[in-house]
Amino acid sequence: MPYIIQKETLFQRIRRIFRQSVNGEEQDFTTGNIDRAIVLLAIPMILEMAMESLFAVVDAFFVAKISVEAVATVGLTESVLTLVYSIAIGLSAAATAMVARRIGEGDRQAAAKAGAQVILIAVALSTLIAIPGYFFAEDILRIMAHDTSVSETGFRFTQLLLTANLPILLLWMLNGIFRGAGDAATAMRALWLANIVNIVLCPLFIFGWGPVPAMGVLGSGIATTIGRSTGVVYQLWHLFEVGRVIRLRWAMLRPKWDVIGTLLKIASGSTGQYLIASASWIFMISILGQISKEVTAGYTIAIRLVVFAILPSWGMANAAATLVGQNLGAGQPDRAEQSAWRAGMFNMIFMAFVGLFYVIFAPTLIRIFTTDPEAVHAGSLALRIMAGGYVFYGWGMVLSQAINGAGDTRTPTILNFIFFWLVETPLAALLALYWGWGQTGVYWSIVIAESGMAVAAMWMFKKGKWKTTKV
C-alpha cells in the first residue's frame, strides 16, 4: 500500500516556522528564501523588543498609582537615562555589525573575540557613568524638573539607575552579539527572564508586602535593576557555557586594541545617532516641564505607549541589520539590499495598524495609567498626533538600522543631526513657546522630524553607498 503524503496546512506551517524561530534552530541566513529568513529572525527579535517595551509600561503602570510627581520623576529620569541607552544601543549595533560580518565570512572565532571586547567596553563605560551619576543625581533631576517636589521625592530613584547602569549596558550590548550571530532566540529569552522578574518585584517593592517595606518610586528602580541583572546573568551563561553559534572564553577578556578600536569606530556613529535623538528628547520634555507637571506626566505615559509599539518594530529593524551584515560578509550585497526592503515593507504594514489603534483608543489607553484629567488630555493628544507618523517610522527605522548593520554608522548619524537638531528642536521651540501652540507644537515637531528623516533614509539606502563599507 503506497504511503500518502499529507499536505501541510497553513496553520501547521505557521506553527512550525514560529517554533523554529523561537527555538533558534537556524543561524545562517545567507541562503534560501528571503521572506522566510526575515520571519525566522524577526519573530524572536520582535518578541525581544516587546519584552523591553513591557519594562517601561509595567513601571509606568505601577508608578502611576503613587502620584503624578512619581510619574514625572520616572519620565525625567528616563530622559536622562536615554543617554545611557544611547551608548548601549550604539555599541549593540556595532557588536551586531561586526559579529554578523564575521559569521557571514565563516569565522566564528573572530566573532567570539569581538564579543569579548564588547564586555570590556561595557564595564569601562559603566564606571565612567556611575561615578558622576551617584554624586550629582539630585542636581540633574532639579535642573530637569522645574518643580522641587519632583526632585526632592525622586532623586534616589535617579541615583540608583545612574549608578547601577551596567545591567542596562550589558543587556543591550550582549543581545547585539546574539543578534549578529543570528541567535535571536537567546536574546529574546534573556529579556523575557528579565521582564518576568521585574513584573513580580515591581509591585512588591513599590507597595510593600509582609516583611518587605513600601519603597515607592525607588522600589520600581530596584525591581528594574534586579530584573535586568538576572537577564545579564543568563546571557553570560549562554555566551561562556552553552553558546551554540559562538562561545566566549575567559582568556578572550584581554584587551585587543585593534578590535576595540574598530568597535568604537563603528559605535561612535551609532551612539552619536542615539545621543542626538536622546538630547533632543530631553529638550522636548524640558519644554513640556515648563507647562505643567501634569502635561509632563501625560507625555511620559504616551511615550511609554509609543515605545511599546516602536520597540517591537525595532525587532524587525534589527533583523534587517543582521541580514545585511551576514549577507555582506558572504559577498551577497544584492541579497542584503532586498532583505532590507522586504523587512521595511512588513514593518510599515505593522506600524500602520498600530497607529490606527492608538488614534482610536488613545484616551482609553491613557486612563489605564492615570485618572488626572489634564494628564489624560495631554497623553491622549500626544499619542494621537505621534501615531499619525507611524507609517513613515516603519520604513525609516528599518532602513536606518540596515545601513548601521552594514557598518556605515556615519550616514544615519548625519540624518539624525539634521532632523533632530536642525528641524525638530527649533521647530518645537518655535511652535510651543513663540507661536503659542503649547504641548501641541512639541508633538507636531516630533512627527514632522521623524517623517522627514524616514524619507531621507529611504533615499540614502537606495543610493547604495553602504554596500562598500569595510568592517
**Tens-place pLDDT, residues 319-363:** 888 889 888 988 888 999 999 999 999 898 888 888 899 889 988
Between 122 and 64, where is the model more confident? 122
- pLDDT, residue 403, reads 92
Q: How many whole angstroms from its chain centre is CA 312?
A: 9
| Residue 47, in any domain of the structure | yes
Residue from 351, 392, 366, 388 nearest 299 by CA = 366
Q: Residues 134, 222, 70, 425: is their CA dihedral positive or negative? A: positive
Percent of the chain with pLDDT over 70: 91
26 has pLDDT over 70: no
- pLDDT, residue 226, reads 94
| Residue 10, in any domain of the structure | no
| Residue 305, in any domain of the structure | yes
- Residues 240-263, mean pLDDT to the nearest whole number: 85
Q: Hey, how many other C-beta atoms are within 10 angstroms of the C-beta on 414?
A: 15
Q: Name the residue with cell 503524503.
A: 5
| Residue 6, in any domain of the structure | no
| Residue 21, in any domain of the structure | no
Q: Do 174 and 20 form a contact (C-beta atoms < 8 A)?
A: no
Degrees, nearest 5: CA angle 280-283-287:
145
C-alpha–C-alpha distance, residues 68 and 370, integer Å: 8
C-alpha–C-alpha distance, residues 329 and 349, integer Å: 29
| Residue 15, in any domain of the structure | no
Domain count along the chain: 1
- pLDDT, residue 148, reads 64
| Residue 365, in any domain of the structure | yes
Summarised one tens digit per residue, pLDDT across range 258-268 is 889 888 888 88
Q: Which domain holds residue 298?
A: 29-468
Between 290 and 110, where is the model more confident? 110
Residue from 53, 13, 29, 120 nearest 319 by CA = 29
Q: pTM of the entire structure?
A: 0.76
- pLDDT, residue 147, reads 59
Q: How many whole angstroms from its chain centre is CA 430?
A: 29
Q: Which of 135-149, 262-276, 287-301 has the lowest mean pLDDT?
A: 135-149
- pLDDT, residue 419, reads 92
Q: Hey, how many other C-beta atoms are within 10 angstroms of the C-beta on 79?
A: 22
Q: What is the length of the chain?
A: 471
- pLDDT, residue 28, reads 64
- pLDDT, residue 435, reads 87
pLDDT band of 1, cuts 50, 70, 90? very low
Summarised one tens digit per residue, pLDDT across range 125-158 is 889 888 888 888 777 777 665 556 655 666 777 7
| Residue 12, in any domain of the structure | no
